[in-house]
């Protein structure tokens, strides 16, 4: 029987025999909106090289088109009843992602309703994929027949040394590296080439870079009992090897950064690495210098790095040479081989939410990564998000409190000024009587002043006095903002610009007015009112040149600038002891936004900017100008009462069953034809309602025009899915999306747990 079986097997066609044998296959995903992975056969020459986490080139579809994908699994397969296409090329010499990071990216795809390949393409920086900063040079290896010929030859000692070096290498080596290892010059290499013992190939040179300039070491700061208690809690979690999320709620100036640094030092002492996430706006030299003065090796990742710099930093981190990684949102994916702690400072910042696919939130990704690694996550803020506060109050996370500033300094008094009847405001000025008097007093006493206005440009609205129509962008449903320094009206949605309009495009009347106040107009008024005080404006218009942000802050620190005014880039992370006055010029611009989180953001911004003063024995004060002095967010911010505000806002959210009492997914439809977009959105909403009919906990809101109904020549409609848990939202969306046929030129974007309803 055995012989008969062998005979039958040998007699079948080769392709069918292969189908009955175990073969090695690779699962590949693509940076396309495709849910499933695709299986490819691994040719024999790739069996020992192909690993999960590398990119491969494979055929996709019925044609001969080759596409780059990510190998996410290698396994044995019986391969019944089908022929598998082969992997054509391996693009990376080593995996770009570890097994844990592959699991994390898979979780992101599931959690945020996008494909695994789209997540991988976002996680691995373009500079790393392209191996930016390296270059092709000549490399040398022994020829295939070298061993046989060498047995017959007697080589000079230095040529033999080169042969010994190359025998232990799997890949060709550059000449410089061969010479260094063999202790010789290029002569022996040339001699071996003439004898036909070496072959020449092109290889990539190693990256060269520098981690940082030397920084003077700084001693530890004295910690108060509250700081030590918080630190001990975090260290106990590290010692246990169990994941725990800590919400470190500390008022501005309470010393949260010192707690981070001491906890990171403990992780480093265990031979591990730490990741610190900060808002992009907080990646100032002041922040970076503080970490570099306390640790041996610190890598910084941010959006202004070149591809070559990012690639070099990535390699240094992956090698384990880096103790601390400091960066913005995407640094949560830093390839630390031995992570011991992740810290997110200013965790309330909306910039931790990605606004393009995959639309992940760095806080939730960090939480999942820490859970997988069994390490602590520390979320720090003076004004935590209500989601984080609610989790801590429900004891899902551990709440650590630091309610007092270090050295016993008091929080600055906050004065709320109702400007509805202010005579200076009535005359068209942006700075009312009380704030003007306070600025004069602060300057006379030798202090510095910060003025906060979250509107850039000169005038936010270009308006026709005759017909009452705002001059709008032709491509967006937004009024143009007048930028006087450019002599242009600019759209802040798509950067469309026109010269100063001489007449209304609607009625033709020349009676055009510029309405409202932006930072440029505020700067002009401040210079007129306080001509003896050097003034500096900081916003995205004035801080375009590389290094200008750092230079501006240094001028303010040194006292060369007496009044600093700007947008939210001056509201966070700055520590200037000589600032004795902070003025919030217009609290209403934040409060009146069509957003569920408008009150929360107003409270956060007022509290954060107020925290820039009173950081020395000189003390300080805050003046908030508003036409809504009785609004809960402003009243509680004036009292530095986060707990009271959170309680008030959470009660309202509970009544509305809004986050954190529900999970929301927003679906935005966009396209050039409004009718097609509207019909698609309404049809999808109707199908979602039908699918949700059996579960009263799921609510479908919309479809309706988005708050910005037209953006970049695309009409926009949106709908919202609300449910008690993420899985319910995911289930109902996937059920409907599976059969969803999108018309030509209509796109959709799915945003899980959105932080903006723009």
Mean pLDDT computed over 559-577: 85
Question: Residue 12's pLDDT is what?
Answer: 47
pLDDT at 464 over 50: yes
Residue 735: phi, psi to the nearest 5? -60, -40
**DSSP conformation letters of 149-210:** HHTT----HHHHHHHHHHHT-SS-EEHHHHHHHHT--SHHHHHHHHTT-EEEEEEEPPP---
Residue 200: phi, psi to the nearest 5? -110, 130
Q: What dihedral do alpha carbons 284, 287, 290, 294 form, nearest 10°?
A: -110
Question: Residue 706's pLDDT is what?
Answer: 93
Report how far residue 546's alpha carbon sits from residue 504's, in angstroms, rounded to the nearest whole number: 38
Whether 225 contacts 587, CB under 8 Å: no
Q: Share the mean pLDDT of the chain.
A: 88
Mean pLDDT computed over 47-52: 91
Question: Residue 509's pLDDT is what?
Answer: 80
Considering only 33-42, 186-195, 205-214, which range has the smallest mean pLDDT? 205-214
Structure tokens at 173: 């080596």
Q: Could you write out the three-class secondary structure of 462-528?
A: EEECCCCCECECCCCCCECEEECCCCEEECCCCCCEEECCCCCCCCCCCCEEEECCCHHHHHHHHHH
Q: How confident is the model at residue 136 (pLDDT cuts 50, 70, 90)?
A: low
Question: Residue 5's pLDDT is what?
Answer: 36
Question: Residue 371's pLDDT is what?
Answer: 97
Cα 214 to Cα 218, 294, 311, 324: the distances in Å are 12, 12, 21, 16
Buried b (16+ CB within 10 A) or exposed e, 236-263: ebbeeeebbbbbbbbbbbbbbbbbbbbb
Q: Please tell me whether residue 571 adopts helix, strand or coil conformation.
A: coil
Considering only 216-225, 226-235, 722-731, which range has the smallest mean pLDDT? 216-225
Q: How confident is the model at residue 3 (pLDDT cuts 50, 70, 90)?
A: very low
pTM equals 0.87
pLDDT at 389 over 80: yes
Considering only 341-350, 503-512, 741-750, which range has the smallest mean pLDDT? 503-512
Whether 667 contacts 753, CB under 8 Å: no
All structural domains of the chain, each given as residue ranges with its CATH number in brackets, are 2-95 (no CATH), 136-204 (1.10.10.10), 225-408 (3.40.50.300), 414-460+516-653 (3.40.50.300), 663-752 (3.30.70.600)
Angle at 279 between CA 730 and CA 545, to 5 degrees: 125
pLDDT digits (tens, 9 = 90+) for 679-703: 999 999 999 999 999 888 999 998 9
103: how many CB neighbours lie within 10 A of its CB? 15
Question: Residue 199's pLDDT is what?
Answer: 87
Question: Residue 82's pLDDT is what?
Answer: 67
Question: Residue 10's pLDDT is what?
Answer: 43
Angle at 343 between CA 408 and CA 406, to 5 degrees: 5
Percent above pLDDT 70 for the chain: 94
Report how far residue 371's alpha carbon sits from residue 244's, in angstroms, rounded to the nearest whole number: 8
Structure tokens at 439: 């600025």
Q: At what angle do helices 362-373 and 99-111 cross, to 10 degrees?
A: 140
Question: Residue 720's pLDDT is what?
Answer: 95
Q: Please tell me whether residue 68 adopts helix, strand or coil conformation.
A: strand
pLDDT at 7 over 70: no
Cis bond upstream, residue 543 (ω within 30): no
Rg (CA), the chain: 31
Mean pLDDT computed over 246-259: 94
**Greater pLDDT, 232 or 407:** 232
Report how far residue 423's alpha carbon sits from residue 435's, in angstroms, rounded to the nearest whole number: 12
Q: Which residue has the tokens 């007697």?
A: 154
**DSSP conformation letters of 214-268:** -----PPPPPPHHHHHHHHHHHHHHHHT---EEEEEE-TTS-HHHHHHHHHHHHH
Mean pLDDT computed over 579-598: 88
Question: Residue 342's pLDDT is what?
Answer: 98
Whether 569 contacts 543, CB under 8 Å: yes
Report how far residue 559's alpha carbon sits from residue 472's, in angstroms, rounded to the nearest whole number: 41
pLDDT at 132 over 90: no
Structure tokens at 271: 């031979």
pLDDT at 151 over 60: yes
**DSSP conformation letters of 82-112:** -PPPBP-EE--SS-SS-HHHHHHHHHHHHHT
Question: Residue 253's pLDDT is what?
Answer: 87
Cα 569 to Cα 479, 549, 572, 664: the distances in Å are 24, 9, 7, 29
Report how far residue 703's alpha carbon sits from residue 736's, in angstroms, rounded to the nearest whole number: 15
Considering only 212-226, 235-249, 378-392, 596-610, which range has the smallest mean pLDDT? 212-226
Question: Residue 4's pLDDT is what?
Answer: 37
pLDDT digits (tens, 9 = 90+) for 665-675: 999 999 999 99
Question: Residue 208's pLDDT is what?
Answer: 58
Question: Residue 2's pLDDT is what?
Answer: 38
Report how far residue 170's alpha carbon sits from residue 166's, in angstroms, rounded to the nearest whole number: 8
pLDDT digits (tens, 9 = 90+) for 59-74: 988 777 899 999 999 9
């Amino acid at each position: 029987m055995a012989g008969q079986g062998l005979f039958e097997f040998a007699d079948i066609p080769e392709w069918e025999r292969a189908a009955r044998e175990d073969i090695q296959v690779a699962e590949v995903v693509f940076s396309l909106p495709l849910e499933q992975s695709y299986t490819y056969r691994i040719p024999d020459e790739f069996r020992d090289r192909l690993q999960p986490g590398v990119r491969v080139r494979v055929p996709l579809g019925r044609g001969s088109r080759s596409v780059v994908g990510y190998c996410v699994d290698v396994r044995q397969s019986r391969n019944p009843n089908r022929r598998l296409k082969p992997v054509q090329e391996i693009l990376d010499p080593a995996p770009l992602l570890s097994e844990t990071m592959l699991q994390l990216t898979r979780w992101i795809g599931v959690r945020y309703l996008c494909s695994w390949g789209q997540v991988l393409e976002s996680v691995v920086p373009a500079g790393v994929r392209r191996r930016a900063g390296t270059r092709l040079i000549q490399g040398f290896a022994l020829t295939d027949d070298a061993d046989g010929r060498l047995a017959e030859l007697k080589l000079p000692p230095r040529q033999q040394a080169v042969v010994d070096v190359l025998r232990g290498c799997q890949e060709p080596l550059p000449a410089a590296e061969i010479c260094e290892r063999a202790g010789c010059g290029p002569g022996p290499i040339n001699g071996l080439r003439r004898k036909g013992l070496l072959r020449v190939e092109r290889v990539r040179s190693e990256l060269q870079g520098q981690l940082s300039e030397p920084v003077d070491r700084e001693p530890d700061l004295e910690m108060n009992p509250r700081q030590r208690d918080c630190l001990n809690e975090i260290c106990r979690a590290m010692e246990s090897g169990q994941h725990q999320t800590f919400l470190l709620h500390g008022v501005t100036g309470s010393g949260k950064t010192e707690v981070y640094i001491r906890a990171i030092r403990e992780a480093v002492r265990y031979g591990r690495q730490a990741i610190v996430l900060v808002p992009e706006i907080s990646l100032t030299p002041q922040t970076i210098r503080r970490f570099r003065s306390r640790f041996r090796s610190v890598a910084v990742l941010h959006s202004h790095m070149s591809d070559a710099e990012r690639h070099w930093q990535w390699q240094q981190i992956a090698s384990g040479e880096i103790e601390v990684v400091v960066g913005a949102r995407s640094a949560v994916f830093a390839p630390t081989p031995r992570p011991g702690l992740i810290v997110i400072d200013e965790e309330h910042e909306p910039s931790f939410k990605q606004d393009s696919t995959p639309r992940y939130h760095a806080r939730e990704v960090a939480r999942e990564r820490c859970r997988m690694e069994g390490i602590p996550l520390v979320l720090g803020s003076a004004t935590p998000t209500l989601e984080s506060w609610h989790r801590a109050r429900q004891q899902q996370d551990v709440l650590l409190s630091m309610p007092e500033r270090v050295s016993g300094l008091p929080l600055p008094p906050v004065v709320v000024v109702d400007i509805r009847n202010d005579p200076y405001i009535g005359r068209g000025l942006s700075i009312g009587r009380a704030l003007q008097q306070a600025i004069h007093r602060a300057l006379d006493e030798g202090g510095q002043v910060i003025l906060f206005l979250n509107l850039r440009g000169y005038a936010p609205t270009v308006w026709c006095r005759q017909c009452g129509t705002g001059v709008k962008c032709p491509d967006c449903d937004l009024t143009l903002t007048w930028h006087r320094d450019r002599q242009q009206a600019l759209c802040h949605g798509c950067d469309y610009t026109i010269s100063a309009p001489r007449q209304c495009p609607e009625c033709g009347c020349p009676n055009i007015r510029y309405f409202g106040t932006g930072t440029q107009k505020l700067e002009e008024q401040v210079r007129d009112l306080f001509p003896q005080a050097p003034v500096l404006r900081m916003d995205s218009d004035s801080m375009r040149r590389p290094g200008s942000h750092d230079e501006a802050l240094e001028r303010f620190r040194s006292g060369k600038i007496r009044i600093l005014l700007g947008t939210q880039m001056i509201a966070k992370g700055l520590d200037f002891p000589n600032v004795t006055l902070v003025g919030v010029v217009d609290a209403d611009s934040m409060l009146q936004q069509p957003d569920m989180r408008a009150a929360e953001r107003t409270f956060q911004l007022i509290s954060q900017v107020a925290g820039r003063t009173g950081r020395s024995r000189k003390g300080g004060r805050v003046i908030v100008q508003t036409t809504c002095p009785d609004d809960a967010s402003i009243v509680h911010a004036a009292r530095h009462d986060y707990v009271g505000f959170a309680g008030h806002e959470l009660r309202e959210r509970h009544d509305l069953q809004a986050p954190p009492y529900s999970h929301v997914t927003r679906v935005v439809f966009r396209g050039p034809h409004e009718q097609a977009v509207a019909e698609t959105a309404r049809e999808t909403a109707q199908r979602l309602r039908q699918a949700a009919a059996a579960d009263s906990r799921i609510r479908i809101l919309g479809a309706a025009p988005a708050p910005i109904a037209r953006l970049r020549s695309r009409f926009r409609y949106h709908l919202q899915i609300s449910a008690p848990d993420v899985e319910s939202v995911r289930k109902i969306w996937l059920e409907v999306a599976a059969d969803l046929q999108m018309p030509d030129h209509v796109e959709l974007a799915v945003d899980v747990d959105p932080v903006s309803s723009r």
